[in-house]
Amino acid sequence: MVLIAAAVCTKAGKTIVSRQFVEMTKARIEGLLAAFPKLIPAGTQHTFVETDSVRYVYQPMERLYMLLITTRASNILEDLETLRLFARVIPEYCRSLEESEIAENAFNLIFAFDEIIALGYRESVNLSQIRTFVEMDSHEEKVHLAVRQTQEREAKNKMREKAKELQRQKMELAKKGGKPSFSSSGGFGNSTGYTPVPIVGDVANITNDVKPPPSYTVSKPTPTSTRAMKLGGKSRDVESFVDQLKSEGENVISSVANNVEQSGHKAPAIKQDIDGVHLRLEEKMIIKMGRDGGVQLFELLGLITLHIGNEKWGRIRVQLENQDVRGVQLQTHPNVDKELFKMKSQIGLKHPTKPFPLNTDVGVLKWRLQATDENLVPLLINIWPSEAGDDSCDVNIEYELAHTDLELSDVNIYIPLPIGCNPIVSECDGHYTHEARRNQLIWSLPIIDSTNKTGSLEFSAPKSIPNDFFPVTINFTSKSSFAKIKITDVLLVDDDSPVKHSVETVLFPDKYEIV
């Protein structure tokens, strides 16, 4: 079938939301939608009507119609099956079938429509997959969050350094028998002129009388261990940020990038190419594990999308390298040459003379892996809550990076707490934050890799029982492909010459919890 457009309209003929899937003028599509109400036969049970050029397939939904406009040559059975899927999508994003509710969720509906139809042809997807794909993160948002997190870390480090300097000066004055003098601005009378100000999101509370700041993380110092330095080191943060930008398709100037990798102290210079070929490899994990061990659910969903910003690069092939040994199920887009993919691991159109769509994110390859093997879980979390004799619990949590070839960034482990509980942390690798309003303890680790593949957190919680600390949820990002699928090159169809391109790879858990 070739689907021209999908729309939701009222029975009076007013179009609320419409999505066009093939090239057609705005006047033409508006004319087709305006003609539909006049063509519906009265007193019949048909769900389609034809004109000389198109076929309307529709389904009544209370006071609305879910409408598909197809070519007359399309298979009516396929049209009806696709219509049913479109009709099931509407209640997924709208609480009621009212005009105002449809308009309010118009963008979510359009995104869902785009997952069903690509280049005018039906995708082999179900409702669950549509919901999964629509909820995927955006590239711009992840770049923005990475920049903001780096700025917050730098601001926190700077504040800590200033606080230590003020404390040192206060101790030196105390040794000399003098008293610290205050300037009119409320700070110490020194050459720095610095007045400590709390930073949003930090766990420290610095009062106006400039007392020695409390420790930001509670951990037992171990002279022979450098784990904490590795986790919180500034150079690793900057290096990780550069790597993250590279993995997300940003072109970092090589000379500056080398300086960053060698010293870890120079800010990267970023230049984004928006006129070439960009590929995004995105993998999403859904993991559910029992508190006593065992995998209840493991699912990996992957997708490669292609974006071409210049028509001269429309006729290309994408070369892949597949090192998967776990049995990942691959599926190419219907318009992709399957034989070419099987023989050469290349993604190209069935008709080489036709170009890929311009300025559109096109899904070209997707994959799926589902199992209950614990060896597939990249980050294992072991939780041991034990009851003490005073109606409290001692909680020990350990993590272990099972796949040491992965580097996980911005790892956050969310531990629920009883209402009103103030946990007492005795040991922590990394950082922790107690969010009293949300009744949770957040264990944060900037990076987990082969150099710090294990770590632990210990705390006690008064007036609690072991069940209070579940479910535990985990979030992280990674720049590596879990399925071992790699984009190695982009080639022109005519002469196999290489094409300048950027590749963005991201792995993250959509849902990862210990129940």
Q: Which residues pair with 383 in a beta bridge?
A: 397
For residue 13, pLDDT over 60 is answered with yes
Beta-carbon contacts of residue 113 (< 8 Å; ≥ 6 apart): 6, 19, 86, 89
CA distances from 267 to 237, 239, 259, 270, 360 (A): 11, 10, 9, 9, 32
pLDDT confidence bin for 242, thresholds 50/70/90: low
Please list the residue range(s) of the chain that carry CATH number 3.30.450.60. Answer: 3-134
Nearest CA to 33 among 47, 18, 45? 18
Q: Which CATH number fits domain 277-374+482-514: 2.60.40.1170, 3.40.980.10, 2.60.200.20, 3.40.50.300?
A: 2.60.40.1170
DSSP 11: T
Q: What is the pLDDT of residues 351-374, one digit of tens each?
A: 989 999 988 899 999 999 998 888
Within its chain, how far is the Cα of 348 from the centroid? 27
Q: What is the pLDDT of residues 112-123, one digit of tens each?
A: 888 888 877 888
Confidence at residue 68, expressed as pLDDT on a 0 to 100 scale: 92
Q: Which amino acid is at 415?
A: I
For residue 154, pLDDT over 60 is answered with yes
Topology of 3-134 in CATH? Beta-Lactamase (3.30.450)
pLDDT mean over 78-95: 87
Cα separation of 412 and 74, whole Å? 50
In degrees rounded to 5, what are phi and psi of residue 488? -100, -30
Least confident piece of the model among 126-130, 166-170, 480-484: 126-130
Q: What is the pLDDT of residues 309-318, one digit of tens each?
A: 888 999 999 9
Cα separation of 144 and 215, whole Å? 29
Of residues 288 and 215, which shows the higher confidence score? 288
Please list the residue range(s) of the chain that carry CATH number 2.60.40.1170. Answer: 277-374+482-514
Cα separation of 201 and 156, whole Å? 9
Q: Which residues of 106-134 are buried (b: 16+ CB within 10 A; e: fewer)?
A: beebebbbbbbbbbbebbebeeebbebbb
Q: What is the pLDDT of residues 274-304, one digit of tens each?
A: 568 999 999 999 999 998 888 999 999 999 9
